[in-house]
Amino acid sequence: MNIVNKLKKAKLIGRGGAGFPTYLKWEMVENAKNTKKYVVCNASEGEPGILKDGYILENFPEEVINGMKIAIDFLKAEKGILYINSNYYKKFSKNLIKIINKLPIELFKKSNKAGYIGGEETSLLNHIEGKIIEPRLRPPFPTINGLYGCPTLINNVETFYAVSLIDKNEYKNKRFYTINGDCLLTGVYEFLENWTIEKILKQTKNYPNFDFFVQVGGDGSGEILNSKQLKKQVSGAGSITVYSKIKYKPIDLIKKWINFFKCESCGQCVPCREGTYRLKEILNSPQPDWKKFSDLLKNLDDTAFCALGGAVSIPVNSYIKNVLNSDCNFKL
């Protein structure tokens, strides 16, 4: 059985957050007509609250490199590139270079100036090519027109780790979870991918004995859920952040999320560049215009060029819907 059939049988979903079936992406690159192809491992991990890729690079670097090698061999790719953020590069580059040895894989250190958007898959391609670090218009997708215009397979660190296990028939349908926030035993854990948020918090002894809510999928763009909504699986990049209800003022949390997106916007598109600026401006005014605030959030959903702008509303709207409206009738 070749690796694509193994990936399909394992039902592996990409661990970078988008949740795309891994075998389909590999098939797309395999079937692309261009003979020169590339493999990229995305170790950017720029969203706050997500630490699993660093954990994997520290504890299982051989599996990650092996996963990349499997992809390179399968696709007969020109080479592989491990696109790695500067903090991880400082910590792990020596060991990674030693493991890579003579394999056709090289490290590319992500610039500190690249920011969160530098982890978006087409932005990182521009970065590697020496271009402006901003998203590309899609289609065409990287599987057809990626690095230097060639078909390119881009997978996350954890995805390549899982590929290595699947190839060796050692995959057990597990994934990594980062647990943060108002709990004692924070860190990275590995459990079955179908475990619920509630089960993970209880298993790690991080289920609070106080009123709380959680943010799932990243501390920037993750969805907010109340304590009665935890019987669902963890989405996105696999993080759970616990918030004490009495510890945070609603306006401060909303400001935190909006400020994150405002600071991380690449400025390429007007809706995101101007929209996040205006959202922050409204929040800092003595009497916020909540109607205008809500309209701007919807406008970003409808018109933003990339997923960053489209994600601005996720934490804010889910927080209002799932926590504030049910507790204190706070409305925008």
- Identify the structural domains of the chain with CATH numbers, from first to last: 3-167 (3.40.50.11540), 174-244 (3.10.20.600), 250-327 (1.20.1440.230)
Higher pLDDT, 327 or 292: 292
Per the omega criterion (within 30 degrees of 0), is the bond before 140 cis? yes
pLDDT at residue 70 in the model: 98
CA dihedral 255, 260, 266, 272 (to 10 degrees): -30
pLDDT at residue 307 in the model: 77
pLDDT at residue 332 in the model: 46
pLDDT in tens, 221-277: 999 999 999 999 997 789 999 999 999 999 999 999 999 989 888 878 888 889 899
Is 3's pLDDT higher than 90? Answer: yes
Query: Under a CB-based contact definition with an 8 Å cutoff, are residues 14 and 121 in contact?
Result: no
Unique residue bearing structure tokens 């997500």: 50
Q: What rounded mean pLDDT belongs to the chain?
A: 93
pLDDT at residue 327 in the model: 58
pLDDT at residue 34 in the model: 79
pLDDT in tens, 128-140: 999 999 999 888 9
Q: Is 224 left (phi over 0), alpha (psi -120 to 50) or beta?
A: beta
Residue 309: which pLDDT band, with cuts at 50, 70 and 90? confident
The conformation of residue 320, written as its DSSP 8-state character, comes to: I
220 vs 309: CA distance, rounded Å: 12
pLDDT at residue 150 in the model: 96
73-77, 194-198, 253-257, 301-305, range with the lowest pLDDT: 301-305
Which tokens belong to 100? 């890579």
Q: Is 187 left (phi over 0), alpha (psi -120 to 50) or beta?
A: left
pLDDT at residue 51 in the model: 95
65 CB-near residues (< 8 Å, 6+ apart): 82, 96, 99, 100, 103, 105
* 332: helix, strand or coil: coil
